[in-house]
Amino acid sequence: MKRAAVCLGLALAAATSGALAADVSGSFASSSASYGTLFSSDAGILTGSVLSSFTGSSGYDIFSVKVDGTSIPDLIPGKDDYFYFSAPVAAGLHSILVSGKSYGGSFVGSYEVTAVPEPTAVAMALAGVGLVVSVSRRRLS
């Protein structure tokens, strides 16, 4: 009976590894006046940045960056541009839209969604670990 309980507890704890959401990341670069990228993710924390710079009179001037329709402020207004974002997102399709003007240059960007485990997966893992601990305590006493 104890062996069956330990096996069940380990199975519950191990089963959650398949239920955890996967991280998603990507990068992009363009010199077009308007650029958009779409990606799908599980619920999590989305972080990323878009930047451009000028060397002399050549570069890319970013007018706006929108993440899922929300405007992101330019942290370095002027010739060089730097947009940073970090926010929780729900599972689904997400977008990053960049608009600006190229003066012989381009912009680069990247994003990453760090997945947040489902509450049921965490509960199942805790139940499995709790079952293993309770069987171990009985065995010691």
In degrees and rounded to multiples of 5, residue 76 shows phi and psi of -130, 80
- Which tokens in the block code for residue 16? 């959650």
Confidence category of residue 53, pLDDT binned at 50, 70, 90: confident
Mean pLDDT for the chain?
A: 82
Under 8 Å between Cβ of 96 and 46: no
Under 8 Å between Cβ of 98 and 26: no
Mean pLDDT score, 10-37 = 76
Q: Which of 62, 50, 49, 72 is nearest to 105 (CA)?
A: 62
Distance CA 47, CA 88 (A): 9
In degrees and rounded to multiples of 5, residue 83 shows phi and psi of -115, 125
Mean pLDDT score, 45-53 = 95
Distance CA 45, CA 86 (A): 7
Residues in the chain: 141
pTM for this structure?
0.70
Q: Is residue 21 pLDDT above 70, yes or no?
A: no
Look at residue 126 and give its three-state secondary structure.
helix
Q: Is residue 26 pLDDT above 80, yes or no?
A: yes
Q: Which of 3-7, 44-48, 116-120, 121-125 has the lowest mean pLDDT?
A: 3-7
pLDDT at position 106, please?
94
What number of other Cβ atoms are within 10 A of residue 86's Cβ? 11
pLDDT at position 22, please?
84
Higher pLDDT, 55 or 123: 55
pLDDT at position 29, please?
96
Q: Is residue 30 pLDDT above 90, yes or no?
A: yes
pLDDT at position 60, please?
94
